[in-house]
Structure 1
Amino acid sequence: MVKVKVRLRPLVSKLNLPTVLKTAILPGDSIERLFIATQVGEIFYIGNGAIKTFLDIRPQIIKLGTSEPGVSGAGYDERGLLGLAFHPEFTYNGLFYLHYSVAGTQGPGALSKHFKPDPCDPGTLNLKWINRETQYNHIDTVEEWILQSNGQPQKRRTLLNLRRPFFNHNGVNSLNFSPETGKLVLTTGDGGAGYDPFNLSQDIMEIAGKIIEIDVAKDTFINHPPVVTRFNELPAPIQETLTVIAKGVRNIPGISFQRFHNQYIKYVGNVGQDLVESIFSFVHYKPIPVTQLVQASLMNSEPDQEGFINFGWRGWEGAFPTSIIRGCSANQNSDEKTIAYYNEAIITSVKRLPPLTSYFHKDPRPDKFGGTALTGVQAFMGNGIPALTGSVVFTDLARKEESGSPVRGVLAYTRVRSDGKLNNFSVIETNYDFGSGSAYYVSLGTNTDQTRLYLGVYGSMKVTDFNQGTVFEIVP
């Protein structure tokens, strides 16, 4: 892999935590504008050198930073405004889509204590999520909005209301349109808590831990869709708009489509547990219509999953069977790694898609880095940085450094190999001086034709520390 150096050019600073970076052309406009969605519920765009407010739904967002009893680090949160997507015909029809955690829906969470599987205790391996109407953390919603002719955005309809068991793993940059099918793609996480306590990601009927396509061309107006966790709880008109592309998801920072001749390569990153962060790619897939899933379950039969994508979680973390890591009592410098879910690793071993590339939380190789969490994956097709043309660029939240040095995120890239095998990756060097402050790399975005890259950086891990965000363009 070629060594690549880039510059970070600041576009706007003193923002709240930027979760989505996308471009669109406003109705009646001719210039593509950069839109920035923040976790607390603001959407801005950059026009003629000034930053303008497009929408502010802060009152509709759940109170952030008070996530759940027993969660370490008050102020850290994975809820909020997580998804923004513009309809492919946005310039003409004004339609756009939001995914966010709803104000006033705070619940107690699905488990009263911290979860860690114990291979010696079958009880921890077969937990069920019960009393879902009361034992949940919050409700997420996916909505369709329209930019009216007077320039004011207005909510048009609710597409989905999802009850989530824990505060984390709700996805981020979670709404993207597929240029292949024209459908809205929702990438969500397994519901959180670590190690997927209820194995929601592998259960085909659970909405958590899946990649879902929503056919927004079907105008289903149901005034108050029910709040659900499973596909079979949805009203039939909503079931008919949904297909499922993939399962076995832990948490995904969006999906990216890269045109290759007359087809598209899809890239998704799966955030890791304790060992490894992974990026997957696939071209062909066979989605399953939700109506078919529900029909199969009514007849007690298994839906045909040939050609269906499975990322392997919770039995697999990237290319490894999911492990529990314990410090070795005899040796402080070593860790003991025990397979957490041996049976599930076997069951999903041949059904899962192997990753395109992985990077580790600990890596002894001199030109690599120890990562924390994958926060963005984007295909890049521009010629401005020739070494990156045709590659897939990704970001990690924070490089694991020796204590004492300020936190820095990481930019890196890889590309698909023609033989389909696992590929290496290379760190992209940046020459920006962040001074003594922290710089968590929280989001990665691109323009419509993937010729520009944007990076969202935050000065804190707490969503309650305001106005510490900067958005950069990544330039040669």
Structure 2
Amino acid sequence: MKKIKVGLQPIVSKINLPTVLKTTILPGDSIERLFIATQVGEIFYIGNGVIGTFLDIRSRIIKLGVSNGGYDERGLLGLAFHPEFYYNGLFYLHYSVAGTQGRGALPESFKPNPCDPVTLNLTWINRETQYDHIDTVEEWILQPNGQPQKRRTLLNLRRPFFNHNGVNSLNFSPETGKLILTTGDGGSGYDPFNLSQNDMEIAGKIIEIDVTKNTFIYNPPVVTRFNELSAPIQETLTVIAKGVRNIPGISFQRFYNQYIKYVGNVGQDLVESIFSFDHYKPLPVTRLVQASLMNSELDQEGFVNLGWRGWEGAFPTSIIRDCSENPALNEKTIAYYNEAVKTSVRRLQPLTSYFHQDPRPDKFEGSALTGVQPYMGNSIPDLKGSVVFTDFSQEVSHPPVRGTLAYTIARTDSKLNDFSVIETNYNFGSQSAFYVSLGTNLDQTRLYLGVYSSMNVTDLNQGTVFEIVP
């Protein structure tokens, strides 16, 4: 693939972790502004070189970075503006709620043992007491006086672990007009309870929410399964996909009279994967619940399955062990053989994958996918029509750490596609540069990159947002 070089033009610096980058036009305004949501709970907007605070919900966010050395995957996770935001002022938030810290679903870290059936069939028990935190999805409105106000809560979700909550997790579908919520598998590693493949679990799914249906339930109960929701809320939900490990949102690319959907699945130990699909058959939650009650199988032809936990991209999920005979090598053992077989036919093949270990000189060794966006602009001609993605940090043996920008080409034949690194000319000096988010404007002609110089949310004001330029 063609080598492409771009520049990075700083827009704003010295902010907290920029997890979501979106643009919209404020009611009564005439310019499209960039909105930056930070993991700690701030939302800024920028226009004509001026930065302002749109909303600050830091007091509503769970206390971050208390454990895990300051690293955290909770916080303000999603921001989406209603397609008619200019007229109705509606926008949506997904965040981890203050004061909901629990003890977690397991007493220690988890790793499956293919020789021990117990580790392959764990069950999340005592969910009301053994959980890590609660996430919420809320509808807000920008009032005529310019002050945002919460209107209602759409979902309250109990999460088993601190990680894999999704990021950039709210987006509106230009096809259906519905709000899309992307949830991670609940966390730990290897999805210990196999929540991602269980049709009744909210974790590990891509879900559509019909926000035009007012359920008149303004503080719904805290749940983990679809069948725990009241009937009016169930009727607002459809499920697009399952088999999600962790996902940096969903993006859409117009292709003649249809849209190609792109989602990335963050890998376990081997590979990061980007999937694309155009046609799909969503399953209404009411049908899923009915099938569960009747203990019957639903026809899932056309329903998207990314394959996790049996598959990590195009590979059966594996456990990596050091080779005692040769420390330079390692052994890969299939973690969930039976599940890999069961989902081998139904799963969606990735559009492209990149690896944590890659011997090819023109590639890179990644760690975690953090953004996927189509680019339809003309200012970088070689990228037009391609799919750009970001990785958190390259696997390097010496500092400073650098994230990676790369791209692939859309294809419709379901074959695995190649990718190429996008070279940048920006000098970060001796500071680390973790690539934490990727965003675009409304017509996908501009790309924005969020960078942080630390991997810890407790290290404040170390973020910069760039525009990717020729």
Fold match (TM-score > 0.5): yes
Give the distance between the partners of 2:374 and 2:209, measured in 1 at CA. Answer: 22
Match in the other structure for 1:17? 17
**1:178 Cα offset (Å):** 0.2
Matched, 1:115 2:110: yes
1:257 to 236, 241, 252: 252
Residue 418 of structure 1: how far off its partner (Å): 4.3
Distance 2:394 2:442 in 1: 29
Matches within 5 A, 1:372-383: 372-383=367-378
Q: Name the residue aligned to 1:310.
A: 305
Following TM superposition, by how much is the alpha carbon of 1:303 offset from its aligned partner in structure 2, in angstroms?
Answer: 1.8
Q: In structure 1, give the amino acid aligned to 2:43.
A: I
Distance in 1 of aligned mates of 2:14 and 2:266: 27
Whole-Å Cα distance in 2 between the matches of residues 350 and 223 of structure 1?
Answer: 41
> Structure 2: how far apart are the matches of 1:223 and 1:98?
15
Q: Distance in 1 between matches of 2:219 and 2:445?
A: 40
Out of 199, 223, 241, the position equivalent to 2:218 is 223
Q: Secondary structure at the match of 2:195?
A: coil
Partner SS state of residue 112, structure 2? coil
The CA distance in 2 between the partners of 1:136 and 1:302, in whole Å, is 29
Give the Cα–Cα distance (whole angstroms) in 1 for the partners of residues 337 and 325 of structure 2. 25
SS at match of 2:70: coil
The question of 1:466 aligning with 2:463 is answered no
In 1, Cα distance between equivalents of 2:196 and 2:414: 25
Residue 126 in 1 paired to residue 142 in 2? Answer: no
Distance in structure 1 (CA, Å) of the matches to 2:285 and 2:413: 33
Q: Which runs of 5+ in 1 are unaligned?
A: 68-72
Q: Percent identity?
A: 83
**Structure 1 counterpart of 2:167, one-letter code:** V
2: CA distance between counterparts of 1:223 and 1:437? 45
CA distance in 2 between counterparts of 1:36 and 1:220 reads 30
Q: Which residue of 2 aligns with 1:169?
A: 164
Measure, in 1, the Cα distance between the counterparts of 2:334 and 2:186. Answer: 22
Instruction: Return the offset for 1:221.
Output: 2.0
CA contact (8 A) 2:139 2:151 kept: yes
Q: CA deviation at 1:48?
A: 2.5
Instruction: Give the TM-score normalised by structure 1.
Output: 0.98
1 CA distance for matches of 2:163 and 2:386?
A: 30
What does residue 137 of structure 2 align with?
142
List aligned pairs for 1:68-217, cutoff 5 A: 73-217=68-212
CA distance in 2, matches of 1:376, 1:426: 15
| 2:332 is the alignment partner of 1:337 | yes
Q: Secondary structure at 2:27's aligned position in 1?
A: coil
2:428 aligned partner: 434
Question: Structure 1's 189 and 418: CA in aligned 2 closer, same or farther, altered over 3 A?
Answer: closer
**Residue 448 (structure 1) aligned to one of 421, 442, 448:** 442
Shift of 1:2: 1.0
C-alpha distance in structure 2 between counterparts of 1:466 and 1:172, whole Å: 19
| Residue equivalent to 2:277 | 282
State the partner residue of 2:39. Answer: 39
CA distance in 2, matches of 1:366, 1:111: 41
Question: Shift in Å at residue 50 of structure 1?
Answer: 1.4
Report the Cα distance in structure 2 between the residues aligned to 1:50 and 1:389, rounded to whole angstroms: 29
1:403-431 residue CA offsets vs partner (Å, 9 max, x unmatched): 2x300000000012243311000000000
Q: Superposition RMSD on alpha carbons, in Å?
A: 0.7
Deviation string 1:351-388 (CA, Å, 9 cap, x unpaired) is: 10010000000100000000000000001111111111
- How far does residue 164 in structure 1 lie from its aligned partner after superposition? 0.2
- Whole-angstrom distance in 2 between the partners of 1:66 and 1:308: 39
- In the alignment, is residue 354 of structure 1 matched against residue 361 of structure 2? no
What amino acid maps onto 1:112 in structure 2?
Answer: P
- Whether the 8 Å CA contact 2:154–2:218 is kept in 1: the answer is no
- How far has the Cα of 1:244 moved from its partner? 0.2
Q: Separation in 2 of the partners of 1:220 and 1:151?
A: 26
Alignment partners' CA distance in 2, 1:417 and 1:215: 30
Relative to the length of structure 2, the TM-score reads 0.99
Question: For residues 59 and 211 of structure 2, what CA distance do their matches in structure 1 show?
Answer: 26
The residue number in structure 1 matching 2:27 is 27
For 1:392-403, what aligned pairs fall within 5 Å after superposition?
392-403=387-398
Count of paired positions: 470
Supply the distance in 1 between the matched residues of 2:336 and 2:414 (Cα, whole angstroms).
Answer: 28
**1:268-297 deviation line (CA, Å, top 9, x unaligned):** 000000000000000000000001111111
Deviations 1:120-156 (A, max 9, x none): 1000000000000000000000000000000000000
Whether the 8 Å CA contact 2:32–2:47 is kept in 1: the answer is no
Corresponding letter in the other structure for 1:169: H
Question: Could you say what secondary structure the match of 1:74 adopts?
Answer: helix
Q: How far is 1:224 from its partner?
A: 1.6
d(CA) in 1 for partners of 2:412, 2:170:
29
Q: Which secondary structure state, in structure 2, belongs to the residue aligned with residue 344 of structure 1? A: helix
Partner AA of 2:253 in structure 1 = Q
Question: How far, CA to CA, are the matches of 1:303 and 1:174 in structure 2?
Answer: 27
Which amino acid in structure 1 is aligned with residue 433 of structure 2? A
Partner of 1:291: 286
SS at match of 1:123: helix
Name segments (4+ residues, structure 1) moved above 4 Å. Answer: none
- Report the equivalent of 1:70: none
Rounded Cα–Cα distance in structure 1 between residues aligned with 2:444 and 2:214: 30
Deviation at 1:35, TM superposition (A): 0.1
Secondary structure of the residue aligned to 2:238 is strand
Give the superposition deviation at 1:74.
1.2
Matches of 2:466 and 2:447, distance apart in 1: 9
1:417 pairs with 2:411 = yes
Indicate conservation of the 8 Å contact 2:92/2:138, yes or no.
yes
| Other structure's SS at 1:20 match | strand
Residue by residue over 1:171-214, the C-alpha shift from the partner in whole angstroms, topping out at 9 and shown as x without a partner, is: 00000000000000001100000100000000000000000000
How far apart are the structure 2 equivalents of 1:247 and 1:297? 16
